[in-house]
Structure 1
């Protein structure tokens, strides 16, 4: 299945949110808490509007999409935050994959790998590392791309939410590559 990677437009935000809802379903406690009605038409409308607000509010964020060449449908998206000198030196963050989702019908077909490769090529070009806060769904993909687990944690809930499911995350980092290692990463990304 051929697909392309390109930058999202404002018009893509409703579908980007729909992909979040489809990809995580009702199995991600954080999504359930922040977007409790995400699986409904109204919840997706509101979620799409919020994604548009997020897109416009963060000058460091770039949303990209994977589009199926045959159908023209957006099948995946990612939100990369690239801090090219934009943070104070005490922060270790250079580039961050903030969010990535792939339509369940297109998972395990290389879409997530290409969305990830896009941001890593930017990091390599800038000579910076990359971080991601992974859930169990993306853990293997990130490890295969050279990310290492730095912290493994479970979100503890206040007593008033004791009956709710907790969320587990892995804070992962991929160090910046040497010039020799980074050479050619941009070309590898463009071949979808």
Structure 2
């Protein structure tokens, strides 16, 4: 990793940034996040990264309510020229309608998860995953909520403020819209979210996936929210 020479900056993610951003996502989570491992199969392989990048691009094009962001910094490159480098990614969505409980309504499940057991497991995870945000949307009085659907920062660029900048971009937008900000966060990211004003509503989200999947790793996630501020 080269030493960064400038401050972290948040900008809109372009289509050309997606492969680099997906690589950041993969490196950020490694294999420590069961939801990411299941939602983006083989994300650390060339085939998995190609598929994951294509799915991110499709999501970006199909969801006008979502804002795809990148965190960038500059670093010294060849011949001492400064080069901009993507070190983080976030997706914020103003969600006014509950997400589909059935993953097949938003994904080509047979293509992404060709193994039947993997597919069934991911579909059951998804049904449980969307329950807290669905409840928050239903309780919003039609305003909806601002959901941090994805946040990742390259492990080689931690503690530069990229995560904070990406989260605060969304909480500011939520304040401007007068809606609650929500996130299904990992315990590792809890402190970051708390520093950005989010508070835990559900200490550990429940994932009831059936006895047949009792031996599989299930996500460990908190559901956190932040009321809009004037």
Question: What's the TM-score, normalizing by structure 2?
Answer: 0.71
Over the residues paired in the alignment, what is the CA RMSD in angstroms? 1.8
Given that 1:134 and 1:170 are in contact with CA atoms closer than 8 Å, whether structure 2 keeps it comes out as yes
Given that 1:4 and 1:69 are in contact with CA atoms closer than 8 Å, whether structure 2 keeps it comes out as no
SS of match in other structure, 1:17? helix
SS of match in other structure, 1:177? coil
Given that 2:22 and 2:52 are in contact with CA atoms closer than 8 Å, whether structure 1 keeps it comes out as yes
For structure 2, the residue ranges without an aligned partner over 5 or more in a row are 76-82, 99-136
- In proportion to residue count, which structure has more helix? 2
* Correspondence 1:44 to 2:49: yes
Map of 1:124 onto structure 2: 175
- Mapped to 2, the partners of 1:58 and 1:127 lie a distance apart of 21
Report deviation, 1:75.
0.2
Map of 1:8 onto structure 2: 13
Report deviation, 1:91.
4.5
Deviations 1:74-104 (A, max 9, x none): 0001000124xx5498442421111100000
Deviations 1:14-64 (A, max 9, x none): 122111111110111111112221111111011100110111111100000
Deviations 1:131-155 (A, max 9, x none): 1111112111111111111112242
SS of match in other structure, 1:168? coil
Deviations 1:160-184 (A, max 9, x none): 2222112111111100113xxxxxx
Map of 1:171 onto structure 2: 223
SS of match in other structure, 2:188? coil
- Mapped to 2, the partners of 1:35 and 1:158 lie a distance apart of 21
- Alignment CA distance shift 1:30-1:177 (3 Å): same
* Correspondence 1:133 to 2:158: no
* Correspondence 1:32 to 2:84: no
The count of residues paired between Structure 1 and Structure 2 equals 176
Aligned residue runs from structure 1 range 61-72, under 5 A? 61-70=66-75, 71-72=83-84
| Larger Rg, first or second structure (1 or 2) | 2
- Mapped to 2, the partners of 1:28 and 1:90 lie a distance apart of 28
SS of match in other structure, 2:223? strand
Report deviation, 1:66.
0.6
Given that 1:154 and 1:166 are in contact with CA atoms closer than 8 Å, whether structure 2 keeps it comes out as no
Given that 1:129 and 1:177 are in contact with CA atoms closer than 8 Å, whether structure 2 keeps it comes out as no
SS of match in other structure, 1:164? coil
Given that 2:8 and 2:161 are in contact with CA atoms closer than 8 Å, whether structure 1 keeps it comes out as no
Aligned residue runs from structure 1 range 50-65, under 5 A? 50-65=55-70
